[in-house]
Structure 1
Amino acid sequence: MKVGSGKGRKVCLSLTGVVIAIVLLIVILALTVFKAKHPVTTVDSTKLEDFHMGLDTPKLRVDLNVTLHVDVSVKNPNKVGFKYSDSTAHLNYRGQLIGEVPIPAGEISSGETKGFNLTLTIMADRLLSNSQLLSDVASGTLPLNTFVMMSGKVSILGFIKVHVVSSTSCNVPINLSNGTVGNQECQYKTKL
């Protein structure tokens, strides 16, 4: 009997050692190679697609139509895919929302950079109701801000899910005399 129980104990100890080694390997990989990294959101370009401003003297009002085209790319530096939910890109004028466009849910594979071509049409009534608009028009520059936030999950080893929120805010000054975009200043934030 002692011979059989010795073999059983050796097998049990060997299996326990293998299980501990596998668990340690998984933990080490999860904390190093598969560690969740920040997705990098970049505003690649912003350009004025359409800009028309006119004065309707019989009705005593200003007619304004502005369409802004924004190219945004999101790079997933993780070793696993990043699934993001429905998001929205916002266009603001002096803190007031004046345009938005939806970004449908999707997935960005490991190491992939996915581009989004967004076209924002300005809600002219909101823009025209701002008391600072006339002084900005007189100065020749319209200070706009684009804001894109994407939230989603990174799945590590199929069972560890990490929630990620990445946002980009860019100040985009528009030169009213020629309809071009000035120097952009962007801020990027990511929360795990």
Structure 2
Amino acid sequence: MTMHTNVNGEHRPRQPGPPPHQHYYPRNHYSSSSSAASFKGCCCCLFLLLTFLALLVLAVILVIVLAIKPKKPQFDLQQVSVQYVGITTAAASATSPATTASLSLNIRMQFTAVNPNKVGIKYSESKFYVMYRGVPLGVATVPGFYQPSQSVRKVETTVMVDKINLLQTDAEDLVKDASLNDRVELKVLGDVGAKIRVLQFTTPRVQVTMNCIVVISPRKQKLTYKQCGVDSVNV
């Protein structure tokens, strides 16, 4: 039993009673709120930092591009060498009323790549399709390569066609062109993809579309005419 002293100095026993009321505050609520606010602040700072770095890199690339003034690369079909042209025909008969013909072809094409820029160019693999009156005959592949600044490079590829059979109308046209006119007109179509590299950065891909017409003499086994057109589009 505990004693209580009143205002008059008398000692009286303390009456039992409920303990004084104590306030308890949930610590977890405040700690979790503080952690969430801290996390949001860190995310905001990180986002601002990444945005600043992205803008800085973009500004550097823009300054470099404006400084070097990149120009589109030049890619042209320079030479066409005819190594072999063979046409096999079969006249119409009772068993086969339609005229048939097969074409064998072996030509070598040389392309010239010109890089007028002060930085290098990265070319991707290119495919060129050889066609006769819209009929695909063969495909020539040029592997991808890197070209240094302000340089000229020559690349070669070969198209080999082994006895491809043509339909009746195309076969008759081929026989007429080869026997009467001694000229077989072919089309060479293809796309060349290139990217300019600046300090480990590459510019958007530039696609060069090539459309060439070549005329071959089956009798002389050589090229008699060549004309090419080139268009450039950004991809």
Q: For the superposition of Structure 1 and Structure 2, which TM-score range results when normalised by the shorter chain? A: 0.7 to 0.9
Deviation of 1:101 (Å)? 1.9
Cα 1:43–1:145 change in 2 (3 A) is: same
Instruction: Name the larger-Rg structure.
Output: 2
Q: Which of residues 116, 129, 134 is equivalent to 1:95?
A: 134
Q: Is the 8 A contact 1:155 1:162 kept in 2?
A: no
Distance 2:61 2:164 in 1: 56
Cα 1:25–1:98 change in 2 (3 A) is: closer
Cα 1:32–1:102 change in 2 (3 A) is: same
RCO (CA 8 Å, sep 6+): is it higher in 1 or 2? 1
Q: Is the 8 A contact 1:91 1:144 kept in 2?
A: yes
Deviations 1:58-109 (A, max 9, x none): x986454210111111112222221122221221111221111222222111
* Pairs aligned (count): 168
The residue that corresponds to 2:115 in the other structure is 76
The residue that corresponds to 2:65 in the other structure is 30
The residue that corresponds to 1:136 in the other structure is 177
Q: Is the 8 A contact 2:89 2:175 kept in 1?
A: no
Q: Is the 8 A contact 1:41 1:167 kept in 2?
A: no
Distance 1:51 1:182 in 2: 13
Query: What TM-score comes out, normalization by structure 1 length?
Result: 0.74
How do residues 49-88 of structure 1 correspond to structure 2 at under 5 angstroms?
49-55=83-89, 62=101, 64-88=103-127
Q: Which of residues 193, 205, 217 is equivalent to 1:151?
A: 193
Distance 1:179 1:141 in 2: 10
RMSD over aligned Cα atoms:
2.8
Cα 1:75–1:142 change in 2 (3 A) is: same
The residue that corresponds to 2:25 in the other structure is none
Percent identical among aligned pairs is 21
Q: Is the 8 A contact 1:65 1:124 kept in 2?
A: yes
Deviation of 1:48 (Å)? 0.6
Distance 1:139 1:76 in 2: 40
How do residues 176-187 of structure 1 correspond to structure 2 at under 5 angstroms?
176-187=218-229
Unaligned runs of 5+ in 2: 1-57
